[in-house]
């Protein structure tokens, strides 16, 4: 019996040793698996973080680009508004010149625009009543002086000279057919006039002239305002 017990004990001892060895190996394998899983999890976590960082950077860049574009749009809109105000102020100053300066300016424009000397001038209702006749008279006087001979100064200053000068101008007007007329029509314009000769119209309305000048001078004015 003692021999059997020794054999049994030996078997039990060997079995325990094998169990311990297997347990140790299993523990090592478990640790290796855990370490590998942890490393993989960390790698995946780092990858997720990196992707998130890149995505955030890309989004930030897009938002920054959009913000810069919006800022440029706002700046451009603000500059356009300031330019518009500058040219509107110029238009307002033209339309509110003192009466005699206003008449002189309109007469000068009409004289430059006239080609036949027989055009009609169309004003706004307000300007037709206020300065229409004076402008037409001033232009016609200038046209007559261009087309008629001038008397010597010493003769023109005398009463006889003044009468002769008047007769000469009247005769020249009849012969040449010179004479702008004040149209019965009116137009809805801020200032200036429309010159009509048959089917041909020359737009000398101040808002049109200012708009044309803006197209030519906008860059120059912008450089001056925003330098």
Assign domain 98-225 to a CATH class.
Answer: alpha beta
Question: Does residue 74 or residue 178 have the better pLDDT?
Answer: 74
Question: Domain-by-domain residue ranges, the chain?
Answer: 1-96, 98-225
pTM over 0.85: no
- Helix or strand holding residue 192 (H, E): strand 192-197
Taking residues 78-88, report their average pLDDT: 78
Question: Does residue 146 or residue 195 have the better pLDDT?
Answer: 195
Structure tokens at 185: 């029509």
> Three-class SS string for 88-155?
HHHHHHHHCCCHHHHHHHHHHHHHHHCCCCCCEEEECHHHHHHHHHHHHHHHHHHHHHHHCCCCCHHH
Whether 182 contacts 136, CB under 8 Å:
yes
Report the distance separating Cα 100 and Cα 121, nearest Å. Answer: 18
Taking residues 24-43, report their average pLDDT: 75
Which range has the worst mean pLDDT, 48-52, 111-115, 133-137, 156-160?
Answer: 156-160
Which range has the worst mean pLDDT, 30-44, 71-85, 110-124, 153-167?
Answer: 153-167
- What was the pLDDT predicted at 169? 47
Report the distance separating Cα 116 and Cα 28, nearest Å. Answer: 113
- What was the pLDDT predicted at 190? 94
Q: Rounded to the nearest 10 degrees, how much is the dihedral formed by the CA atoms of 114, 116, 120, 122?
A: -20
- What was the pLDDT predicted at 188? 96
């Amino acid at each position: 019996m003692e021999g059997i017990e020794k054999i049994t004990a030996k078997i039990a001892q060997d079995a325990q040793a094998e169990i311990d060895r297997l347990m140790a190996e299993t523990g090592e394998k478990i640790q290796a698996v855990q370490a590998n899983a942890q490393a993989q999890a960390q790698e995946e976590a780092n990858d997720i973080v990196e992707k998130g960082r890149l995505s955030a950077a890309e989004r930030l860049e897009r938002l920054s680009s959009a913000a810069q574009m919006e800022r440029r749009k706002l700046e451009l809109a603000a500059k356009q508004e300031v330019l518009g105000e500058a040219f509107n102020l110029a238009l307002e100053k033209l339309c509110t010149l003192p009466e005699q300066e206003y008449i002189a300016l309109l007469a000068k424009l009409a004289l430059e625009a006239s080609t036949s000397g027989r055009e009609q001038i169309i004003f706004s209702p307000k300007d037709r009543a206020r300065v229409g006749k004076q402008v037409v008279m001033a232009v016609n006087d200038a046209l007559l002086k261009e087309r008629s001979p001038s008397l010597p100064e010493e003769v023109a200053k005398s009463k006889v000279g003044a009468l002769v000068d008047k007769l000469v101008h009247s005769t020249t007007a009849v012969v040449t057919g010179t004479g702008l007329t004040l149209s019965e029509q009116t137009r809805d314009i801020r200032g200036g006039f429309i010159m009509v000769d048959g089917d041909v119209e020359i737009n000398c309305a101040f808002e049109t002239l200012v708009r044309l000048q803006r197209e030519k001078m906008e860059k120059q004015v912008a450089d001056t305002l925003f330098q």
